[in-house]
Chain A
Amino acid sequence: MDPAPLLELRGVKKSFPKPDGGELLVLDGIDLELREGEILGLLGRSGSGKSTLLRLVAGLAPASGGTIRCLGRPVNGPPEGVAMVFQSPALFPWLTVLENVELGLEAAGLPPAEARRRALAAIDTIGLDGFESAYPRELSGGMRQRVGFARAIVVHPAILLLDEPFSALDVLTAETLRSDFLDLWSDGRLPIQGMILVTHNIEEAVAMCDRIVLFASDPGRIATTFPVELPQPRARLDPSFRDLVERIYVELTARAPKARPATAEGLPGLGIGTILPPVSTNLLAGFLEALAAPPFSGRADLPVLAERLAMGIDELFPVAETLQILRLVELEGGDIHLTADGRRFVEADTDDRKALFAKQLTAFVPLAGHIRRVLDERPGHRAPWSRFAEELEDHMTPAAAERTLRAVIGWARWAELFAYDDSRRIFSFENP
């Protein structure tokens, strides 16, 4: 029998109230535990609720159902013994590096001398010597995030929560910071017993974590768990490393929305209420061309394509899935390939591309067809923004509704399907 877990989640739910009075479920039935000495990865696309879950654990937001126990005590409010590193370092710009690091100790009511000693020690550990009196704005992104780490470990937390801490950094900086941090952890130089890492970078998850939990969307829930049994330090080119990355991709593509109403899990398939990502038509066209060109010639392994195009899964999947919704590509078992329409699109000139895109848009994106129909039916052939926004808000948050509507407007404008006047917030057929 294992010792008591550091963190224990049972049946955790999170929902937000909708404007019409209903509830919008973003996390459902989460059972999870963090064991001693473990780095647990939460992997998923944006909107899968993984960051929300981290916020619940951090006590920054209350769960709507289920229990969260941290170090044996129920969580209501930021628990003692838990510290967090944020995606944007969230440093206080008016405090120096030293003052930023001391902040949590000050809040705990530590004597000044003790706080100073511990802060300097943490700064030393994390490799920030010499930067004590600098202000955050004087530091590079990587150095700022180091301050974020120092500020978290200085309070000697039992559990460290990492909310995409490397995702705002460039590739090289992220890699350096990651390996430095992993070294500290493996050497036992951190006063930490366990960590949760939220990420949308598959390789990062495989490189750092002992266990990876894959999230599915709508509502956010745990899809699969992958144990990672590779020894540290892990080499990215190692076949077993690659194999695990590939398996995660396969799992992710298996869960991509199918272009049919009512998918296997009985989810609302592609009704009007589907959240659409704001992906530009330039990006869609560029992606298709890259896929059609050698070395892929119409079919690619997703990890390879992601690497080649330097896209994380949070960038790759919105594009791939939008194309899948439009039936220009097909995703299957970690692979992606052009459909017949997709190939025709690549080979066509601009006007034909627009016509094809308009056809696919009307046929397979219900919201686009819906707007088109409403405009057709109305006597003046115009409709206000609110007409559609309110409809969408029955299914999603106002922010998501805005994004979805903006996405469709962007596509429809390119396809010349309908027009939209933002200063008056009116949809119409008129283009000057």
Chain B
Amino acid sequence: MVRRGAAFGLADALAALLVLGALALLAEFARELVGPAPTAAPIALDPSHLPLLALRTTSRMLAAMALSLLFTFTVATWAAKSRRAERVLLPLLDILQSVPILGFLSVTATAFLAIAPGRAAGAELAAIFAIFTSQAWNMAFSFYQSLRTVPRELEEAARSFRLNGWMRFWRLEVPFALPALVWNMMMSMSGGWFFVVAAEAITVGETTVVLPGIGSWIARAIDERDLAAVGWALAAMAIVILLYDRLLFRPLVAWSERFRYEGEAGATSERSAVLEILRRSHLLGLVGAPLGHLWRAGYRLSARLGRAGVTGGNRTSPLVWLDRAGVVLLLVIGALAAHRAVEFALLGVRPDELARVVALGGLTAVRVVVLLLLASVLWVPIGVRLGLRPELARIAQPIAQMLAAFPTNLLFPVAVSAIVAWRLDPDVWLSPLMILGTQWYVLFNVIAGAAAIPRELHDVAASLRVRGWLWWRKVALPAIVPFWLTGAITASGGAWNASIVAELARWGGVRLEAHGLGAYIALTTEAGDFHRIVLGIAVMSAFVVGINRLVWRPLYRWAERAFRLD
């Protein structure tokens, strides 16, 4: 609805800037794709190049996000609508979610380079694909979950007013899924920065791929042992994260709030200045209105084409055949891939090698658990205190979220240079790097949990004079257990992934190596030994899946039952 009144206002100017910025980003990205092959030519460590490099890194992220959304809308919908597909896709997504993507970079990069040799496109696609693989699965899961839990009464209302499938998808299912999806997009984006940085400078055996971006800047800075350059990159990244938070996610989350179904509690009551500006601007109305009309015309067209999206009659529709064919295809590909993987990894790998890799996995597992406990001991008390003060929580929560988005691999050089300087034991001191980025998930989930403790419970505890350790045991800790678990599960998954870059670090010519599965994968990648890369990834996936199934899931189910607040 276009508001009459003031002419071109400040809001419009800002909105125009936003739109232009988005366009520039697209153009820059397109130019890049058709550009010449990325050379191993060193990135000049000149701070004036940083804005452009940051822009390139960001555009990779956004491209991957677009890809992930496409994947979510298609594959997750398929899984939700077809029992047959669901049985195949769900376990598949679950496994994919647990595969350490960093380890995979080398494999996918070589594959994509082979597809588009001599063009930047190949390397770009490899990087985008890597980021995509870090983003898509949880988004798809969340969307699938939402589609399966659309409230019955809304679903019936939609059917009884004869909305066809297309309309039901856009009018009912997508809006209903949006709040959860946006939240997961945010988590995915946060995780994604880590991978985009890692994906910009890959060395696999003889091949080195360098894509212009903050990640390759850092790689170069490490080679040069240039701490100042590392500092510049950190500053640039901080600004990028801040901008992305303010310009993209705050507005998205605030906007998605209105799709929350009644009765659902909002995670946060987000407000976004940028969103207000966009809402108030006439320009957006001018651009948006025709698009809205087109979209609605699409509904009418679909209404006329597929008169009534009703399940009736026994005739097999083409969709059913498509569904069947798709599932068969998936199964065939899956079988082939599994066969190849087993053959690839296990042939030429002796049992003692496998045993060694499993033992290394155990070492990394110990690290993850110890770090997680340490992080919890540190953050749970702080998180609870913050969560109980709404005014503090409002400040702390977004900061923790932003810190989670910050790609900590940018910080590694600082830590590594210190370890080198003070000759510390890498087996111990490299470890904290694994949890550096993911500990924030523990913090902000605990904050959310503490903030969700009902007012009355505090009042009761206060009036009964429950204090000190008793208060922690009976009031605070039980109330936050489910939240802490959510954070811990995310943090543990992230830590496994991070082990690949954390257990093997470099500072100029000096190399630090901790004993663990992450270092094994990193070393074999460096050597271009694909058999062992696959073996390492397979064992790590097995660890992650196993821990998820045997520890996290039962724990979460128990916590949900035991500590539900209702």
Instruction: Say whether A335 faces chain B, with CB atoms less than 8 Å apart.
Output: no
Q: Which stretch from A21-29, A85-93, A192-200 is at the chain B interface?
A: A85-93
Instruction: Say whether B161 faces chain A, with CB atoms less than 8 Å apart.
Output: yes
Measured between beta carbons, the chain B residues less than 8 angstroms from A60 are: 156, 159-160
Instruction: Say whether B154 faces chain A, with CB atoms less than 8 Å apart.
Output: yes
Measured between beta carbons, the chain B residues less than 8 angstroms from A76 are: 310, 312-313
CA A59 to CA B160, docked complex, whole Å:
8
> Given A92-B172, A93-B261, A423-B561: A106 and B312 within 8 A (CB)?
no
Instruction: Say whether B355 faces chain A, with CB atoms less than 8 Å apart.
Output: no
Measured between beta carbons, the chain B residues less than 8 angstroms from A151 are: 161
Q: Could you tell me which residues of chain A, from 49 to 103, have a CB within 8 Å of some CB in chain B?
A: 55, 58-60, 76-78, 80, 82-84, 86-88, 90-95, 103
Contact A58–B160 (Cβ < 8 Å): yes
Contact B161–A92 (Cβ < 8 Å): no
> Given A77-B310, A86-B153: A104 and B161 within 8 A (CB)?
yes
CA A309 to CA B161, docked complex, whole Å:
39
Contact B156–A107 (Cβ < 8 Å): no
Contact B300–A106 (Cβ < 8 Å): yes
Contact B159–A78 (Cβ < 8 Å): yes
> Given A106-B299, A107-B299, A137-B262: A90 and B156 within 8 A (CB)?
yes
Contact B160–A108 (Cβ < 8 Å): no
Instruction: Say whether A133 faces chain B, with CB atoms less than 8 Å apart.
Output: yes
Count residues on chain A whose CB falls below 8 Å from chain B CBs.
37
Main secondary structure of the interface of B (DSSP, over half): helix
Which of A87, A136, A137 has the largest number of chain B CB atoms within 10 A?
A: A137
CA A184 to CA B153, docked complex, whole Å:
26
Which of B171, B260, B261, B299 has the largest number of chain A CB atoms within 10 A?
A: B171
A107 partner, pick from B154, B167, B261, B262, beta carbons under 8 A: B167
B300 partner, pick from A77, A83, A109, A137, beta carbons under 8 A: A109
Q: How far is the CB of B460 from chain A (nearest CB, A)?
A: 21
Contact B162–A107 (Cβ < 8 Å): yes
CA A112 to CA B562, docked complex, whole Å:
52
> Given A88-B153, A107-B163: A78 and B310 within 8 A (CB)?
yes
Instruction: Say whether B303 faces chain A, with CB atoms less than 8 Å apart.
Output: yes
| In the complex, residue of chain B having the shortest beta-carbon distance to the beta carbon of A111 | B300
Contact A94–B162 (Cβ < 8 Å): no
A423 partner, pick from B164, B261, B301, B562, beta carbons under 8 A: B562
Instruction: Say whether A270 faces chain B, with CB atoms less than 8 Å apart.
Output: no
Instruction: Say whether A181 faces chain B, with CB atoms less than 8 Å apart.
Output: no
Q: Could you tell me which residues of chain B, from 146 to 198, have a CB within 8 Å of some CB in chain A?
A: 151, 153-154, 156-157, 159-164, 167, 171-172, 175
CA A109 to CA B303, docked complex, whole Å:
5
Q: How far is the CB of B74 from chain A (nearest CB, A)?
A: 22
Contact B303–A107 (Cβ < 8 Å): yes
CA A59 to CA B308, docked complex, whole Å:
12
CA A64 to CA B508, docked complex, whole Å:
75
Q: How far is the CB of A24 from chain B (nearest CB, A)?
A: 19
B294-338 contact mask (Cβ, 8 Å, vs A): 1 or 0:
001001110110001011110000000000000000000000000
A77 partner, pick from B1, B261, B312, beta carbons under 8 A: B312
Q: Could you tell me which residues of chain A, from 104 to 163, have a CB within 8 Å of some CB in chain B?
A: 104, 106-112, 133, 135-137, 151, 155
CA A112 to CA B153, docked complex, whole Å:
26
| In the complex, residue of chain A having the shortest beta-carbon distance to the beta carbon of B561 | A423
| In the complex, residue of chain A having the shortest beta-carbon distance to the beta carbon of B299 | A106
Chain B interface residue count: which class? 35 or more
Contact A135–B258 (Cβ < 8 Å): yes
CA A88 to CA B153, docked complex, whole Å:
7
A83 partner, pick from B160, B293, B562, beta carbons under 8 A: B160
| In the complex, residue of chain B having the shortest beta-carbon distance to the beta carbon of A144 | B262
CA A137 to CA B263, docked complex, whole Å:
10
B105-119 contact mask (Cβ, 8 Å, vs A): 1 or 0:
000000000000000
Contact A86–B157 (Cβ < 8 Å): yes
Contact A90–B561 (Cβ < 8 Å): no
Contact A109–B304 (Cβ < 8 Å): yes
Contact B167–A94 (Cβ < 8 Å): no
Measured between beta carbons, the chain B residues less than 8 angstroms from A78 are: 159-162, 308, 310
CA A13 to CA B564, docked complex, whole Å:
40
B353-364 contact mask (Cβ, 8 Å, vs A): 1 or 0:
000000000000
Instruction: Say whether B259 faces chain A, with CB atoms less than 8 Å apart.
Output: yes
Contact B160–A77 (Cβ < 8 Å): no
| In the complex, residue of chain A having the shortest beta-carbon distance to the beta carbon of B301 | A109
CA A396 to CA B446, docked complex, whole Å:
42
Contact A103–B259 (Cβ < 8 Å): no
| In the complex, residue of chain A having the shortest beta-carbon distance to the beta carbon of B156 | A60
Q: How far is the CB of A414 from chain B (nearest CB, A)?
A: 22
Q: How far is the CB of A157 from chain B (nearest CB, A)?
A: 10
> Given A106-B303, A423-B561, A423-B562: A90 and B153 within 8 A (CB)?
yes
Which of B161, B163, B301, B304 has the largest number of chain A CB atoms within 10 A?
A: B161
| In the complex, residue of chain B having the shortest beta-carbon distance to the beta carbon of A425 | B561
Q: How far is the CB of A96 from chain B (nearest CB, A)?
A: 9
Contact B162–A84 (Cβ < 8 Å): no
Contact A93–B259 (Cβ < 8 Å): yes
Measured between beta carbons, the chain B residues less than 8 angstroms from A110 are: 300
| In the complex, residue of chain B having the shortest beta-carbon distance to the beta carbon of A87 | B153
Contact B161–A103 (Cβ < 8 Å): yes
A281-305 contact mask (Cβ, 8 Å, vs B): 1 or 0:
0000000000000000000000000
Contact A93–B260 (Cβ < 8 Å): yes
B171 partner, pick from A82, A103, A109, A111, beta carbons under 8 A: A103
Q: How far is the CB of A110 from chain B (nearest CB, A)?
A: 8
| In the complex, residue of chain A having the shortest beta-carbon distance to the beta carbon of B161 | A104
Contact A59–B262 (Cβ < 8 Å): no
CA A83 to CA B159, docked complex, whole Å:
10
Contact A107–B161 (Cβ < 8 Å): yes
CA A108 to CA B161, docked complex, whole Å:
8
> Given A58-B160, A76-B312: A92 and B171 within 8 A (CB)?
yes
Which of B160, B163, B299 has the largest number of chain A CB atoms within 10 A?
A: B160
CA A399 to CA B303, docked complex, whole Å:
37
Contact B561–A92 (Cβ < 8 Å): no
Measured between beta carbons, the chain B residues less than 8 angstroms from A135 are: 258
> Given A60-B159, A86-B153: A94 and B562 within 8 A (CB)?
no
Measured between beta carbons, the chain B residues less than 8 angstroms from A55 are: 156
Measured between beta carbons, the chain B residues less than 8 angstroms from A90 are: 151, 153-154, 156-157
Measured between beta carbons, the chain B residues less than 8 angstroms from A112 are: 293, 296
Measured between beta carbons, the chain A residues less than 8 angstroms from B261 are: 93
CA A78 to CA B307, docked complex, whole Å:
12
Which of A88, A104, A109 has the largest number of chain B CB atoms within 10 A?
A: A109
Known contacts A80-B162, A109-B299; 18 additional CB pairs below 8 A are A58-B160, A77-B308, A77-B311, A82-B160, A83-B160, A87-B153, A90-B151, A92-B154, A92-B157, A92-B172, A93-B261, A103-B161, A103-B171, A106-B167, A106-B300, A109-B301, A109-B303, A109-B304
**Top 4 closest A-B pairs, CB basis?**
A77-B310, A109-B303, A104-B161, A90-B153
Partner-B contacts on A (CB < 8 A)? 55, 58-60, 76-78, 80, 82-84, 86-88, 90-95, 103-104, 106-112, 133, 135-137, 151, 155, 422-423
Give 27 pairs: A residue, B residue, CB < 8 Å, sorted on A.
Answer: A58-B156, A59-B159, A60-B156, A76-B310, A76-B313, A78-B161, A78-B162, A78-B308, A84-B156, A84-B157, A86-B156, A86-B157, A90-B154, A92-B172, A93-B261, A94-B175, A94-B259, A106-B300, A107-B162, A108-B162, A109-B299, A109-B303, A110-B300, A112-B296, A136-B262, A137-B262, A151-B161
